[in-house]
Structures are given as C-alpha cells and as structure tokens.
Structure 1
Amino acid sequence: MRRGIASITTALSLFASGTAHASDKGWRDASDIGRDALVIGALALPTVEGDWTGTLQAGGSVGAATLLSLGLKETFPEMRPDGSNRKSFPSSHAATSFAAAASLHNRYGWRVGVPAQLVAAFVGLARVKADKHHWYDVVAGAAIGEESGFLITTRRDANVRILPWGDSAGGGVAMTMRF
C-alpha cells in the first residue's frame, strides 16, 4: 500500500511539473495541484489504512501550518513579487505542502516521506516561478510546515518515539525505544 502511495505521489509530481510551462499561470496551477495532492494524500493514506489517529494528526498538522502562515501574512504584510497584494510572507502553499509531507514522512517513514517532500519542494519552486513569492517566503513557509508536521504527527511505529521538548532553561529532543 505504501509503495503504491509513493508511486502515486511521484506520478502527481511529474504531472504537475509537466503542466508548469513558462507562464505564471502554469506555475500557479502546478503549485495548486501539488499542494492539493499532498493534502489529499496526507489525509487519505491514514484513512484508507484505518489509522484514524494518523488522519487526525495530519489534519491538525496541515490546519496548524495553514492558520499560522495566514496569521503571519496579516502580521507582516509584504508585497508579492508580482505586485498583486501584500500577502507574500510566508508562503501558505509551502507551509501547507510541507506540513502534509512532513506528516506523511513522520507517520509512515522515508519511503512515503521522500516523494512527498519532493512534491512539497516542487510546490515551493512553482510559487517562486509563478512570481507569487520571494524565495525566503517559501523557506519560511517550509519551516512552518515541517515543524507543524513533525511536532503534531507521531510515528506510527509505537516502538520508537521522538519528542522535542523545551523550557525556560533550554530544549532538546528525547527519544525512547521499546525492545
């Protein structure tokens, strides 16, 4: 099942890259397709496998990244490269895409995660090529998405747990393994 989802994700990324010709509209359409495919995949894979906790966590990761990026757009109004409005920073397409990809990666491992991460990277590239974002908007959106995906989504394998922690004196990462 996972190998099939990885193949579908790779095929979608190739389809999206094929639709992204030189025009800004082509790049915008490709970024929309990539983002939507990642969100659907992040919600569909756990649902199909009956992993309702994974579905809830993926929804939470994507929702948190999207809301945070939209809030930051209002807080830090920056003009888009195409001059259309002042909602450039950060890229919510990148935040949403990377949250979905990180959720898949964290929950199901690298075989599903790496193709999803490649599609998310394509979405970010397409947003820059479409002249909707500066490169740093995409990097900020990617960081928001990655953090959301890895902090909210837990590994499906209950034998290994990785938990970031922090307090006023510092922070770190705790890892537990069950033998």
Structure 2
Amino acid sequence: MRKTKFLAPLLLACGLFSNNASANSGSELSSDVITGVVPIGAFAYAYFTDDEEGQKQWLRNTLANQLIITSARVAFNPSLGKRPNGGKYGFPSGHVGFVTSGASFLQERYGWKLGVPAYMLSAYVAAQRVRDDHHHWRDVIASGVLSFGIAKLFVTPQGATYVAPAIGPDFIGMRWERSF
C-alpha cells in the first residue's frame, strides 16, 4: 500500500489546528493542540500500522462526527448556543467533539490500552473549555456523548469476532463472524 493515499486529510487537519492554536496562549494553547493531536494521532496509528480499513473508518467517523456536531451547533444556537463568555454556537462543543471522536476511534478500533489515555486527554480538553468560559458543562458532555455514539456506529474493532444466535423459520443456530 502506498503511504501517501490518506495523507491529505491528515495534512489538512494539521494546518487547520496550527492556525487555530497560534491565536491562543498558555493552557488554552495546550487544549487546542491536544484537540488536534488525539484524532490525528489516531489516524497516524492506523496509517503506520497499515490498517487501511481503520483509515477508512477514521475518515468516515470523523466526517460524520463533524457533520453532526456542526449541525447540532447551528440547530441549537438560538436556545442553548450562548456561551458563558457571551459567544455564539456553544452547544455542543466542537473542540470536545473532535478530540473525543479520535479517542472513541482508538478505543473502538484498537481497545482500551489506547482508548483510556485518549479519553483522559479528551477530559482535559473538556475541563479546560469549561474553565476558560468557552462552554458550559452540558456543552462538553453532549459533545462527548455524541462522539462516542457516532464511533459506535462507524468503527468496528480490529480483528473482532462476533457470535450471535440465528433464528429463522426453518432453523435455529449460531452465526460466527470474524473481521480481518
């Protein structure tokens, strides 16, 4: 597999977050950097382990997550969108949605060994966004829950095995499925 096939989304995301992060300072800068590092690191892990299916799932998960979070921000702006600092489009948090999409991808695809540290970084970003008066707790919690649920729909575990009962009009049995 050529290593350049999926680099365009990675480079685009790096460019977007480097511009955003340069406008802030201190702890705000650290949360902005982490917001980009976790999802981009998730893609890099899939990329450098030659997990082509994982790269596709990362892209689908990230696009679906950003589309749903952005749509919710626009839809809820008149009612829940006011930020503690007076800004608009606060509910749900875009930063927390993006970082949690990466954490959820890592946990769903590769397990808790990668997921737990990524979720801890997501929690740091969420707490920082609330502490800096960019969001209410409801904004960051809603983003985390949405991103987790979206990953459940779009990401499958690597090498997963599923066993399920199969019941039909003429048979009763077990169905076995393995991801490769």
The Cα shift of 1:176 comes to: 5.9
The amino acid that maps onto 1:82 is N
* C-alpha distance in 2 between matches for 1:142 and 1:130: 18
Deviations 1:109-149 (A, max 9, x none): 11111111111111111111121100000000001110112
Q: Which has the higher contact order (CA 8 A, sep 6+)?
A: 1
Which secondary structure does the structure 1 equivalent of 2:89 belong to?
coil
* Whole-Å separation in 1 of the counterparts to 2:88 and 2:41: 31
Q: Distance in 1 between matches of 2:70 and 2:90?
A: 10
Corresponding residue for 2:83?
80
8 A Cα contact 1:160 1:176, kept in partner: yes
Contact persistence 1:106–1:153 (CA under 8 A): yes
Change (3 A) 1:176 1:80: farther
> Take 2:135 and 2:25, find their aligned partners in 1: how far apart are those partners?
14
Distance 1:89 1:108, change over 3 A: same
2:59 corresponds to: 59
The letter for the 2-side match of 1:43 is: F
1:17 aligned partner: none
Q: Distance in 2 between matches of 1:75 and 1:47?
A: 35
Q: Is the 8 A contact 1:27 1:127 kept in 2?
A: no
Structure having the higher Rg: 2
| Match of residue 155 from structure 2 | 153
Q: Structure 1 residue 68: deviation in Å?
A: 1.0
> In structure 1, what residue type is equivalent to 2:82?
M
In the other structure, the counterpart of 1:143 is 145
Partners of 1:71 and 1:64 in 2: CA distance? 10
* C-alpha deviation, 1:161, in angstroms: 7.6
The share of aligned pairs that are identical, in percent, is 32
Question: C-alpha offsets along residues 80-120 of structure 1, whole Å, 9 cap, x if unaligned?
Answer: 1111x221000011111111101100110111111111111
Residue in 2 aligned with 1:21? Answer: none
Gaps of 5+ in 2: 1-23, 165-174
In structure 2, how many angstroms separate the alpha carbons of the residues matched to 1:55 and 1:160?
22
Question: Quick one: distance in 1 between partners of 2:25 and 2:163?
Answer: 43
CA spacing shift, 1:54–1:37, aligned 2, 3 Å? same
> What does the per-residue CA deviation read over 1:56-90, in whole Å, with 9 as the maximum and x for residues that have no partner?
1112112211121111111111211111x221000
Give the counterpart letter for 2:84 in structure 1: P
Matched AA of 2:63: G
TM-score normalised per structure 2: 0.73
Change (3 A) 1:66 1:111: same
Gaps of 5+ in 1: 1-23, 163-174
Residue 47 of structure 1 corresponds to which residue in structure 2?
A: 47
Which 4+ runs in 1 deviate beyond 6 A? none
TM-score, normalised via structure 1 length: 0.73
- C-alpha deviation, 1:28, in angstroms: 2.5
Equivalent position of 1:105 in the other structure: 107
